[in-house]
Every structure is written in C-alpha cells, then in structure tokens.
Amino acid sequence: MVSLYNEDIISDLEKKIKMSFNDKLLLQRAITHKSFSNENSHLDLRDNERLEFLGDSVLSIVISTFIFDNFPDYPEGELAKMRSVIVSEPILAMQARKIQLGKYLLLGNGEELSGGRERDSILADAMEALIGAIYLDLGIDMARKFIISNFNKIIIDVEKGKYIQDYKTILQELLQKDGFGRPIYQVVDEKGPDHNKSFVIDVLYQNKKIGSGKGSSKKEAEQNAAMAALKNMNII
C-alpha cells in the first residue's frame, strides 16, 4: 500500500492549534473523514472515527471536572445540563470553525461537493477526533489545555444562559401555555442519498408556519426550526 502524508497541511494545522505532534500521521488521521479513506482504498489510511470516540470521552471528563471545580454550588442536574450544551454538536462545530478545522479535512469527492467542510456533524466529529489525537500523542495535560483554551468562553456563556440546546422543548412549553396544543413539525424537503441526506422542516402552530430549519438529520432540522421560531417570537 502507498501511504499519504501532506506535510504542508499538517504543519499549518499545528501552527493553528499551537501544538507540535510527535506522530504527524496521528494528526493526519484526526482530519481524515471516512469518505476520503473509502474513496482512496489504495492508500494506507485510517479514518478518524475511533479517535472521535476517544476524544468524546476526553472532552467529557475535562469539561465535567472543570465545571465541577468552578461551580461548587451547582447541583448534579445543573452541571449535567451545562455539560450537555458545552459538548453538543452545534457548539463543537462552532469551535471547529473558529480554528478553521474544516479547511484541513481530507474529504471524499461526494462530501466535498455537498459542502461537507461546513457540515456541523463532520466538523463536530473532527473536533472530537483532534482532541483524541492530542490526548494520545501529547497527554491529558495538553488535551486539557487545548479544551479549556477553546471552550472557556463557551462555558462562561452557558453559565449565563446564552446557549439553549433543546429549542424544541422550550418552544413547546411556551406554546402550551396558550392551551392550543403542541407545535407540529413537517418535512417539506428531503435531498441526497441515504448516507448523506439533508432535510428542511417547517414548524407549524395553529396551522401557521412559525419557523423553518435545515439539517443533516430530521432531529437537527427540527431543532433549527424551533430555534427559528423562537427568534421570530423574540424569545432568543
């Protein structure tokens, strides 16, 4: 098999995250999406899914420890809510964009053409894979340093209530106070193959559209539709 190593991409990414890897191929693996390894089976490549699995756990323990230490008066339930928002897909994708992680990703042609570099799910997974790679190559202290430096402001904002993860629940609770039932979510568009679909969903209340959202899953599109409705209602 032929191996692939792009020194320019890896060097630039190291500068971006201000870290120098001992195992450069491990860092390359963190940015290798399965679509790229599948389309280039002749190359000796492994995708980032296992690193994503590890990074998810590292992120969770670092964030859990940090908020446990810094918010001593918060009960377990509040800490759990904070953590769920901080490590959620939209937040991870947002932080990935801040370090321009999307431009370093190795994607297959299909993902490239369908806008994979900007897709929340791909960016969030790559962020977790990067954290997993940092942990394996440089240790927990460097992984903690990277996580806290990138998520500290998010933690402060979440504590202040700036981010609300479950927009559907918030919207439903608000509307049910009127006594006219729940909002209805309706798929109005669906595109792409089974492994790479995109959805557009409208949220209706009393037979009127109050918001619309897009997403790579129905769940994501519904949350975005609920968020749009809350914005239209000047709630957020």
Query: Does 128 carry a binding-site annotation?
Result: yes
Mean predicted confidence (pLDDT) in 6-33: 93
Chain mean position to CA 116 = 13
Q: Give the DSSP letter of residue 104.
A: G
Is residue 145 domain-shared with residue 187, that is, in the same domain?
no
pTM: 0.71
Is residue 120 domain-shared with residue 184, that is, in the same domain?
no
The predicted-structure confidence for 108-127, as pLDDT tens digits, reads as follows 898 888 888 888 889 999 99
Task: Considering the candidates 47, 56, 120, 202, report the single residue annotated as catalytic.
Answer: 56
Determine whether 128 is an active site residue.
Answer: yes
Determine whether 69 is an active site residue.
Answer: no
Mean predicted confidence (pLDDT) in 193-203: 87
Given phi > 0 = left and psi -120 to 50 = alpha, else beta, which region is 224?
alpha
In CATH, what number is assigned to the domain containing residue 205? 3.30.160.20
Whether residue 2 lies inside any domain: the answer is no
Query: Does 49 carry a binding-site annotation?
Result: no
Domain final residue pick, 114, 143, 159: 159
Which carries the bigger pLDDT value, residue 180 or residue 192? 192
Six token digits for residue 9? 């991409």
pLDDT at position 235, please?
66
Task: Considering the candidates 47, 111, 120, 128, report the single residue annotated as catalytic.
Answer: 128
Residue 202 predicted with pLDDT over 90:
yes
Count of Cβ atoms closer than 10 Å to residue 71 Cβ: 14
pLDDT at position 3, please?
47
Count of Cβ atoms closer than 10 Å to residue 79 Cβ: 15
Number of domains in the chain: 2
Domain that holds residue 204: 167-232
Pairwise CA distance, residues 21 & 42, whole Å: 26
Residue 170 predicted with pLDDT over 80:
no
Domain final residue pick, 159, 191, 218: 159
